[in-house]
Amino acid sequence: MLMIYDWHAGPYPSRVRIAVAELGLTSHINFTSVDLWTGEHKRPDFLAKNYSGTLPVLQIEDGTYLGECTAITQYLDALGDTPRLTGTTPRDQGMIHMMTKRAEIEFLDAISVYFHHATAGLGPDVELYQNAEWGLRMRDKALRGARYFDGVLKDQPYVAGNAFSMADITVIAGFVFAKIVGLQIPTELVSIHAWHARMLERPSVQHWKEMHLPSEATNSSRPAV
Ligand SMILES: N[C@@H](CCC(=O)N[C@@H](CS)C(=O)NCC(=O)O)C(=O)O
């Protein structure tokens, strides 16, 4: 069995949960909750697993800890006979890598910075430094990113071309985060909204939150992140 340390409703954890479901690996994985809202991910025992103090983290059979959604997805994708999320040809692998990186830098990570810096974020006990001006700039960057991906999706069905991939999952997570922070993706961006509506129909995207729920989550009044 593999172990994923995450928080069930987190946008970045959603990336790996969607990948797990897409790859049919749910029954091979145990989940351990790390509570973002109490700063569990910043404590020494968790930092020993992931220096970056972020979720998710995958622990593989030999005890190694893998952080970073891209690395975890690549590892899980390589367990099957044929990679389904990270590309099979050099061209596709390069394209998926590039578009995933763009989806992080231009969209998802920018929304994350907006959340942590220009909103209450995870609260005063966890957000020890905030810079609202930087956060608002990153919000605007994310909206520019949405416009860029809208243009990409005018011409092709998926973020990295003709097949669903890790790049789509990364933009989906951007939408997850945008919903949590109340960031509206302009309705005039019809291509990205049409693509998102199609993505929401995928079983992996419908069910990622329910994959594993910490016992207290069902009664929680906290925001969903
Ligand atoms: N680059 C990392 C980012 C992970 C990340 O930011 N995860 C969020 C969970 S939604 C987190 O741990 N945030 C807590 C924090 O930054 O304090 C990845 O792709 O795994």
The residue with tokens 């990570």 is: 109
From CA 156, how far away is CA 17, in angstroms rounded?
Answer: 25
pLDDT at 218 over 90: no
**91 Cα to the center of ligand 1, angstroms:** 28
Q: Whose CA is nearest to atom 14 of ligand 1?
A: 54
Token representation of residue 2: 């593999």
Q: Does residue 222 have a pLDDT over 80? A: no
Q: How many CB atoms lie within 10 A of CB 218?
A: 7
pLDDT of 221 > 60? The answer is no
What's the gap in Å between 144 CA and the centre of ligand 1?
21
Residue nearest to atom 20 of ligand 1 (CA): 68
The amino acid occupying position 101 is: K
For ligand 1, mutation pick of 73, 112, 114, 208 (most atoms within 8 Å of CB): 112
pLDDT digits (tens, 9 = 90+) for 5-49: 999 999 999 999 999 999 999 999 999 999 999 999 999 999 999
Q: Which atom of ligand 1 has the smallest separation from the CA of 68? A: 20
